[in-house]
Amino acid sequence: MCKPRELSNDRTTTRKSQEQFFFAVEYFSRPMSALIARIPDPAQRIDILHNIVEEHGDFRTDQFHQNTFRDFLGRIVARIPGRDAVPMWPALHAFNSILMAACATDEVDVGICCMGIVEHAFAGISALIGQAAVERGWIAEADLVHYTTHAELDVRHAEEFFAIVEPAWDNPARRAAIERGLELGAYSFDQLYRRMAGF
Q: Are 194 and 4 in contact (CB under 8 A)?
A: no
Q: Are 182 and 174 in contact (CB under 8 A)?
A: no
pLDDT digits (tens, 9 = 90+) for 159-182: 999 999 999 999 999 999 999 999
Structurally, how many domains does the chain consist of?
1
Q: Are 10 and 82 in contact (CB under 8 A)?
A: no
Q: Are 172 and 75 in contact (CB under 8 A)?
A: no
Q: Lowest-confidence range among 27-36, 60-69, 96-105, 114-123?
A: 60-69
pLDDT digits (tens, 9 = 90+) for 35-93: 999 999 999 999 999 999 999 988 999 889 899 999 989 988 899 998 888 999 999 99
> CATH number for the domain including 139?
1.20.910.10
Q: Residue 140, exposed/middle/buried by CB under 10 A (0-12, 13-18, 19+)?
A: exposed
Q: Are 56 and 29 in contact (CB under 8 A)?
A: yes
Q: Are 151 and 123 in contact (CB under 8 A)?
A: yes
Q: Which residues make beta-bridge pairs with 84? A: 81
Q: 179 is in which domain, residue-wise?
A: 4-197
Spatial separation of the C-alpha atoms in residues 174 and 183, rounded to whole Å:
14
